[in-house]
């Protein structure tokens, strides 16, 4: 039995079952670098599979990370034939969908039959549905899923694993609670419609908005997704943080929230570590002091997250941009960083790609 | 008559009990908690126990430095969150048990007070409590109606026109039934209550003081 969990993501990188990987954490901790690193390592470890890295952060930086432009349509990373990237702004996509629904409703006056888009019903229900927590996230997510399917159809290939570089707000997965919320709401709806009956339909007018029906459909769709996302063999969440109090506090909150959604979370990447004890050549008082503080929290992390894969990544001399640098950096996700043996990498990455 | 006195005494008892329960309404919750079923007491005790534990842990966690002892602080926070969820659940349980208890006491009141009183009124509703005096207490018209029925009223104008006497001897014995008597009693009690509340228990309201009358004498607006 493996009593000590390995301080690397080797099991995830070589996993043949995982379909959805979420990488999240508060801003400035190295989320994008980590998500790119995970994607690259997975693509290198399993060249026969296709991987898709998506950024749902409105402030996209996948393009900056790789040093090439990505957009709403998937595009393979230059130099890798099994890793594609996509940058999508779900809230903007949702707004576009809503605006289109409004214009279509104004033109036709009829109901929109396009599944989830139909829920918006010419924007009429946007106010109602927007007040239910998780609905915006659910609709955004479904828009993303729809987009992936369209891309797969367009490109003629399916993606075996999708890696999500989530937005720092961390509410991406709030919609996983939606089925419970919607069940209660639909129960209440059922009571009301049962009492008022056909009068409601006549009040709804020509549009004949079937709110309960649409909400039921949404609930079913979310439940289908939730089944996949709560299967630890299919989905996992990788938390990224730095070794400072606030970041750890946020990470703890994120982990507890994910556990409440029954989502598997067993990996933490701790970025920007100084390892100043082992840096004999360049050693400053400030780095020593900060490293002492980081070590204090690292010990606490090891105690608190005993059964997690806690991966410790070094702070490099420069930004990690471009495929070459990302490849060099990401290897430590697969085999843990040894500050003595691998210390030279910090300054190797200093050169801009 | 004396054999029927028990009806009056029992009715008075029921009326008194109802009034007592009405006046002591604010004490019902505390009496109810004392008469609570075992499950209510158990739920209450468990809730208090977990609450005390939570408060103790929260107090001790405040003394822990979050930054110097982050792991211990976080583990305590996890326990506190668990206890908060437990408290929420226990509170719901307690509320359900209390509601059940209240419902049970309500049923007890129904069965021991409301229904017997209703049964008494239905069974002995026509029991004559007392007979009205035969002397001239009531107007002649009413005496006439009692002795001859509503026909008396219908024929009275005719009698007047033909010059016959409309005065009749009140020969019928008119009794007041239990139902009517209880209704009248209730009305008298309610009226007395109302008078006492209005005259003695309602605090006097001071006459509003009217300041200087502000009269508008011109259309000009005074600007600052």
Beta strands in chain A (DSSP E): 20-24, 51-55, 75-76, 83-87, 161-165, 235-242, 265-273, 309-314
CB contact under 8 Å between A248 and B71, yes or no, is no
pTM for the predicted model, two decimal places: 0.74
Domains and CATH numbers, chain A: 9-87+160-348 (3.40.50.300)
User: CB–CB of B71 and A304 under 8 A?
Assistant: yes
Please check the confidence at residue A304 and state whether its pLDDT lies above 50. yes
> Which of B70, B75, B81 is opposite residue A248, by nearest beta carbon?
B70
Distance from CA of B61 to the nearest CA of A (A): 15
Residue A231 bears catalytic tag: no
Query: How far is the C-alpha of A53 from the C-alpha of A148, rounded, in Å?
Result: 11
* More confident of the two residues A82 and A188: A82
By the 8 A CB rule, do B66 and B73 touch? yes
Residue B74 contacts A, CB cutoff 8 Å: yes
Q: At what angle do helices B5-23 and B115-123 cross, to 10 degrees?
A: 150
pLDDT at res. A90: 66
- B135 and B189 Cβ atoms separated by less than 8 Å: no
Q: What is the pLDDT of residue B56?
A: 97
pLDDT confidence of residue A106: 63
pLDDT in tens, chain B (224 residues): 456 789 999 999 999 999 999 999 999 888 888 888 888 888 899 999 999 999 999 999 999 999 899 999 999 999 999 999 999 999 999 999 999 989 999 999 999 999 999 999 999 988 988 888 776 777 777 877 877 788 888 888 888 888 877 766 656 677 889 999 999 999 999 999 999 999 998 988 888 888 877 788 888 887 87
Does ipTM come in above 0.90?
A: no
| Alpha carbon distances (Å) from A43 to A35, A36, A82, A84, A165 | 12, 10, 6, 10, 16
pLDDT of A221: 76
Most confident segment among A57-66, A84-93, A169-178, B70-79: B70-79
pLDDT (0 to 100) of residue A128: 58
Confidence of residue A111 (pLDDT cuts 50, 70, 90): very low
Asked if B45 is an interface residue toward chain A (Cβ–Cβ < 8 A), one would say no
Residue A305: pLDDT over 90:
yes
What is the chain B residue with the closest CA to A305? B71
* Cross-chain Cβ contact A304/B81 below 8 Å: no
Task: Name the residue among A245, A256, A303 with its Cβ closest to that of B71.
Answer: A303
**How far is the C-alpha of B61 from the C-alpha of B69, rounded, in Å?**
10
Residue A317's pLDDT is what?
84
- DSSP, res A315: P
Residue at token pair 């946020």: A250
Task: Write the residue in B67, B71, B77 that is nearest to A245 by C-beta.
Answer: B67
Chain A residue numbers with beta carbons less than 8 Å from the beta carbon of B69 are 300
**Cα–Cα separations (whole angstroms), residue A93 to A64, A90, A121, A142, A202:** 22, 5, 16, 11, 33
Q: How many CB atoms lie within 10 A of CB A5?
A: 15
């Amino acid at each position: 039995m493996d009593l000590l969990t390995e301080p690397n993501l080797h099991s995830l990188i070589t996993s043949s079952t995982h379909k959805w990987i979420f990488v999240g954490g508060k801003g400035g901790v190295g989320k994008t670098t980590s998500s790119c690193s995970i994607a690259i390592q997975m693509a290198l470890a399993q060249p026969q599979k296709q991987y898709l890295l998506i950024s749902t952060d409105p402030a996209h930086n996948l393009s900056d990370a790789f040093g090439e432009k990505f957009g709403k349509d998937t595009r393979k990373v230059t130099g890798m034939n099994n890793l594609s990237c996509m940058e999508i702004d779900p809230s903007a996509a949702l707004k576009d969908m809503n605006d289109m629904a409004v214009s279509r409703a104004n033109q036709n006056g009829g109901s929109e039959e396009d599944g989830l888009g139909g829920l918006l019903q010419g924007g009429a229900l946007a106010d109602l549905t927007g007040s239910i927590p998780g609905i915006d996230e659910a609709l955004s997510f479904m828009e993303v899923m729809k987009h992936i399917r369209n891309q797969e159809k367009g490109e003629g290939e399916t993606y075996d694993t999708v890696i999500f570089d989530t937005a720092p707000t961390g509410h991406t997965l709030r919609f996983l609670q939606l089925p419970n919320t919607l069940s209660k709401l639909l129960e209440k709806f059922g009571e009301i419609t049962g009492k008022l009956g056909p009068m409601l339909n006549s009040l709804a007018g020509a549009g004949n908005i079937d709110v309960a029906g649409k909400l039921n459909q949404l609930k079913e769709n979310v439940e289908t997704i939730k089944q996949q996302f709560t299967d630890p063999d299919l989905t996992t969440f990788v938390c990224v943080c730095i070794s400072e109090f606030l970041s750890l506090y946020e990470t703890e909150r994120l982990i507890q929230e994910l556990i409440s959604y029954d989502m598997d979370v067993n990996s933490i990447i701790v970025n920007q570590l100084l390892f100043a004890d082992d840096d004999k050549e360049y050693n400053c008082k400030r780095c020593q002091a900060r490293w002492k503080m980081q070590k204090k929290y690292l010990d606490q992390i090891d105690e608190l997250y005993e059964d997690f894969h806690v991966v410790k990544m070094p702070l490099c001399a420069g930004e990690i941009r471009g495929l070459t640098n990302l490849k060099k950096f990401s290897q430590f996700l697969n085999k843990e960083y040894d500050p003595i043996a691998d210390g030279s990498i910090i300054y190797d990455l200093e050169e801009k790609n | 008559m004396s054999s029927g006195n028990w009806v009056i005494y029992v009715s008075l008892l029921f009326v008194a009990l109802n009034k007592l329960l009405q006046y002591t309404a604010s004490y019902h919750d505390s009496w109810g908690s004392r008469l609570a079923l075992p499950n209510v007491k158990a739920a209450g005790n468990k809730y208090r126990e977990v609450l005390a534990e939570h408060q103790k842990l929260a107090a001790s966690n405040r003394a822990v430095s979050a930054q110097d002892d982050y792991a211990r602080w976080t583990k305590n926070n996890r326990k506190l969150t668990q206890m908060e969820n437990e408290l929420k659940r226990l509170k719901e349980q307690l509320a359900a048990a209390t509601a059940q208890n209240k419902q049970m006491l309500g049923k007890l009141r129904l069965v021991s007070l409301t229904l017997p009183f209703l049964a008494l009124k239905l069974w002995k509703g026509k029991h004559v409590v007392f007979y009205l005096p035969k002397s001239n207490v009531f107007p002649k018209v009413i005496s006439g109606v009692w002795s001859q029925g509503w026909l008396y009223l219908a024929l009275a104008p005719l009698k007047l026109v033909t010059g016959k006497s409309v005065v009749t001897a009140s020969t019928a014995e008119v009794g007041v039934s239990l139902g009517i008597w209880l209704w009248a009693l209730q009305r008298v009690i309610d009226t007395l209550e109302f008078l006492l509340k209005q005259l003695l228990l309602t605090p006097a309201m001071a006459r509003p003081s009217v300041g200087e009358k502000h009269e508008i004498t011109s259309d000009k607006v005074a600007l600052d």
